[in-house]
Amino acid sequence: MALADDETVSELQTHHMKTHADKHWWMGRRDFLGCVAGGVGLAWKLPLAQAGSGAGAGSPAQGPLYWAWWGWEPLDHYRRTGGIVGAVDTNAPWMPQWYERLHTEEIARLMAGLGINLACTHFFKGFGLAHERAEQQHTAGLVKFAHRHGIRVLGYCQSRSIYHEQFLAEVPDARDWIQRSEKGELRTWGGAKFRWSPCIHCGEFRDYMKRAIRVGLEEVKLDGFHFDNDYCEPCYCPRCERAFRVWLTKRHPRPQERFGCASFDDIKLPATEKAPPRVTGPLAQEWVRWRCESLAEYQGDLAAHARRIKPDVILLGNPAYPRDPNSAYARSVWAPLLGRQLDLMFAENGNFPGVEGDALISQVRACKHAAAVGYRVVSTVWKHNKLTGLSLPDTEDAVALQIAESSANGAVPGTNWALRPLGEGDRMRVERPDLREALAKHLRFARSLEPLVTNAKPVRDIALLHTFASTAFDNRETVPLAQGAEEILIRGGFSWEVVFGDNLARLAEFSVLVVAGQSHLSDAEANAIRAFANRGGVLVLVGDNGRFDENGRERPRAAFDGLGGEHVVRIEAAAVRATVKTNEGRVSLPPDWKQVAETIARAAGARLSARLRGVDTVTLSACELGCNRLVLHLVNYASESTKPLEVELGGHWKTCRTARWLTPEGPERKLVVRQGPRPTLEVPPLKIYGVVVVE
């Protein structure tokens, strides 16, 4: 079942329920304080707030971050929703006491002592600034305590719903801000009829959000924001129709040839299909492009506003990515556009790390996409529970694996479970001794790795390509091949990265390029791929790539016909095509996937910096520190320790003789590099997380 973005799903919600205003409403500052003591491909021109999130979470000014969920729902949301929301029983008699304790200095001191330095808490849920004033004072008090203990605080800022029962009392005209469905009805957040979804093209709504941002930064003293539900379903209001026509006219000044019309004055917005097999209509294609660009522009507008007020503000979004593989069409989310506006992005889903049947469940894919754009992932993953739908880690190994995955893949380590209720009075899960000790131990290990993580650069061994048109217009064909190829790289022991079609200049950094299921390629994209192969790069073509151009027009000849040579490898689509369970992250590979992995390895040869051999439940992530240290992160997703592991070294590292082995379980050990045609390291049995430093 798909997860909703503020920790409840419309289906789960139903199940649990069954079993322009005056600008000066905000109190004066004195009263308030007294109360709280570019490349090729898509050439979309956007007013980016900070190109590539350069002021982001990994910058020296911000330093390493370790996050914690800190109650980002206000009490009124729990009361209005009812049932179990994000593993919080809203009907429990102790719930108000637990909520009050979240805001105490005692808890700030406890979490700081465990290594947490970033909190995500409640600020603006959509009831209205006036209605939520008292809760924002609560937040301001927490900010004061948190800052005293070195914790920065991000305030939850709802991006996609207003609770009209309360909000209209403050802004009676807000009904005009709301999205419309194809039938002209007010669009709601899922099945929650008391939550209306505002339109991002509504100027009044944007102004209100900017006012909320100013209140948060100047009055509440927040360090940044967590923009939840940071996506946009199709809207059919008159504003959007007008804006789309203007965009089309500017983008296509001579529309006759492609659209068959002299102007766009009378066009209507295309109908929404639930899961179209292929988007072929030119108007529908441009509508998807426009929606993705519009969402990024909206987020960029808010981001620029926040950064003008506080240049070092931290901005975190939750656009439900990557969750539904059809995000561009269904939610207007294309990571290279939206992610550039942000420092951090939640990966909130049910992909709690582990092995289930023949599938390895991970957030590795989300981290690779983030690294390609320039933001960092904050992983807030859920286990599934038959009774509540959502559950939390309950063992040291589960806690360790969640932190290890983030630490190994450039995400922000931390906890989405520690401050949830324990179910006994006002106690919290972090007060269970075994869980608290596990969190402290593994965050401590993650912190010990900071010298090996700060300024480290992922090795440029293998790049996997994602293009907008293939993903947005041919999702059913593209996703099983692209995710199948990603999963083979994850489970085949490779260190790899993602390259998006709008930044193909990065290809010059890589030795191997995998192109899988990219059916729609522009001439510029196809030429960049050909140039990569002609320069001697290893090109792995999976299936039929570039059959169409970026607008779905079939080419007379396939884009890579006639491209050959010893460094061009062609693999049948059936050998890679995965079974992808939408919204669950379960990627089941075809039976012969290991042969594909060996084919890639043979073609790459000594170009690979490192490869893990002989196990498919351990992932490898490799980084370089300068030109003389190779850092290998190994994460075991299985439920038991491995046998000794073998890592092959190649290229630059073949003359190395020794390495260091670091784990949370014991002191540092020395490893010996065995010399041969391909130098190898024998790594001791791995429980969950280990780091090899080759020098």
CATH number at residue 672: 2.60.40.1180
Say if 522 falls within a structural domain: yes
Same domain, residue pair 573 and 462: yes
Most confident among 19-23, 491-495, 555-559, 560-564 (mean pLDDT): 491-495
Q: Which of 450, 484, 503 is the last residue of a domain?
A: 450
**Mean pLDDT of all residues in 424-447:** 95
Q: Supply the pLDDT for residue 57.
A: 37
Same domain, residue pair 563 and 666: no
Task: For 661-672, write each residue's pLDDT tens digit.
Answer: 999 998 999 998
Tell me, what CATH number does 387's domain have? 3.20.20.80
What is the C-alpha separation between 235 and 181, in angstroms, rounded?
A: 6
In 3-state terms, what secondary structure has residue 670? Answer: strand
Same domain, residue pair 328 and 384: yes
Whether residue 61 is predicted with pLDDT greater than 90 in this model: the reply is: no
What is the C-alpha separation between 318 and 335, in angstroms, rounded?
A: 11
Q: Supply the pLDDT for residue 12.
A: 30
Question: Cα dist. 556→390, 546, 547 in Å?
Answer: 50, 11, 9
8 A C-beta contact, residue 205 and residue 173: no
**Mean pLDDT of all residues in 286-303:** 98
Say if 3 falls within a structural domain: no
User: Could you give the angle at the alpha carbon of 637 between the alpha carbons of 119 and 680, nearest 5°?
Assistant: 115
Structure tokens at 221: 């003293």
Whether residue 33 is predicted with pLDDT greater than 80 in this model: the reply is: no
Q: Which of 450, 472, 495 is the last residue of a domain?
A: 450
Q: What are phi and psi of 56, to 5 degrees?
A: -75, -170
β-pairing, 568-571 vs 152-158, is unpaired
Whether residue 323 is predicted with pLDDT greater than 50 in this model: the reply is: yes
Same domain, residue pair 464 and 381: no
Q: Supply the pLDDT for residue 39.
A: 30
Average per-residue pLDDT for the chain: 88
pLDDT-wise least confident of 36-40, 71-75, 377-381, 674-678: 36-40
Q: Supply the pLDDT for residue 651.
A: 75
Domain of residue 207 covers 10-37+46-237+288-450
Task: For 383-397, write each residue's pLDDT tens digit.
Answer: 766 555 667 889 999
Same domain, residue pair 593 and 646: no
Say if 261 falls within a structural domain: no
Backbone CA torsion sign across 417, 418, 419, 424: positive
Least Cα distance to 689 among 664, 669, 668, 666 occurs for 664
Q: Which of 416, 450, 484 is the last residue of a domain?
A: 450
Which amino acid is it at 213? I
What is the C-alpha separation between 77 and 7, in angstroms, rounded?
A: 11
What is the C-alpha separation between 369 and 410, in angstroms, rounded?
A: 11
Same domain, residue pair 474 and 617: no
Say if 78 falls within a structural domain: yes
**Mean pLDDT of all residues in 467-484:** 95
Same domain, residue pair 15 and 50: yes
Say if 244 falls within a structural domain: no
Question: Cα dist. 229→131, 161, 645 in Å?
Answer: 21, 8, 41
Model confidence band, residue 349 (pLDDT cutoffs 50, 70, 90): confident
Contacts of 556 (CB under 8 A, 6+ apart): none
Name the strand (E) or helix (H) holding 514. strand 512-516
Tell me, what CATH number does 519's domain have? 3.40.50.880
Tokens 């996937």 belong to 593
Domain count, the chain: 3
Same domain, residue pair 536 and 614: no
Least Cα distance to 125 among 174, 69, 164, 152 occurs for 164
Same domain, residue pair 616 and 633: yes
Whether residue 329 is predicted with pLDDT greater than 90 in this model: the reply is: yes
Say if 59 falls within a structural domain: yes
Q: Supply the pLDDT for residue 402.
A: 96
Say if 271 falls within a structural domain: no
The torsion angle over the Cα atoms of residues 608, 613, 618 and 619, rounded to 10 degrees, is 10
Whether residue 56 is predicted with pLDDT greater than 80 in this model: the reply is: no
Q: Supply the pLDDT for residue 675.
A: 83
Structure tokens at 318: 């939750």
More confident residue, 141 or 36: 141
Question: Cα dist. 508→502, 513, 618 in Å?
Answer: 14, 10, 29
Say if 685 falls within a structural domain: yes
8 A C-beta contact, residue 550 and residue 524: no
Q: How far apart are the first and last CA of the chain?
A: 46
Task: For 644-663, write each residue's pLDDT tens digit.
Answer: 999 999 877 878 888 999 99
Tokens 């599934």 belong to 384
DSSP string over 188-254: EETTEEEEE-B-TT-HHHHHHHHHHHHIIIIIS--SEEEEES-------SHHHHHHHHHHHHHH-S-
Task: For 582-631, write each residue's pLDDT tens digit.
Answer: 655 689 999 999 999 999 999 999 899 999 999 999 999 999 998 889 99
Structure tokens at 523: 């001439």
HEC string of 595-645 equals HHHHHHHHHHHHHCCEEEECCCCEEEEEEEECCCEEEEEEEECCCCCCCCE
CB atoms within 10 A of CB 575: 18
Q: Supply the pLDDT for residue 350.
A: 86
pLDDT-wise least confident of 113-122, 343-352, 403-412: 343-352
Same domain, residue pair 654 and 547: no
CA gyration radius, the chain: 25
8 A C-beta contact, residue 288 and residue 273: no
Same domain, residue pair 212 and 303: yes
8 A C-beta contact, residue 441 and residue 606: no
**How much is the pTM?**
0.90
**Mean pLDDT of all residues in 325-348:** 95
Contacts of 242 (CB under 8 A, 6+ apart): none
Q: Supply the pLDDT for residue 165.
A: 95
Same domain, residue pair 614 and 533: no
Whether residue 52 is predicted with pLDDT greater than 60 in this model: the reply is: no
Tokens 């073949």 belong to 654
Sheet holding 462-466, edge to edge: 496-500, 462-466, 512-516, 538-542, 568-571
In 3-state terms, what secondary structure has residue 661? Answer: strand
What is the C-alpha separation between 673 and 667, in angstroms, rounded?
A: 19
Structure tokens at 268: 């209507």
Give 649's strand partners: 610
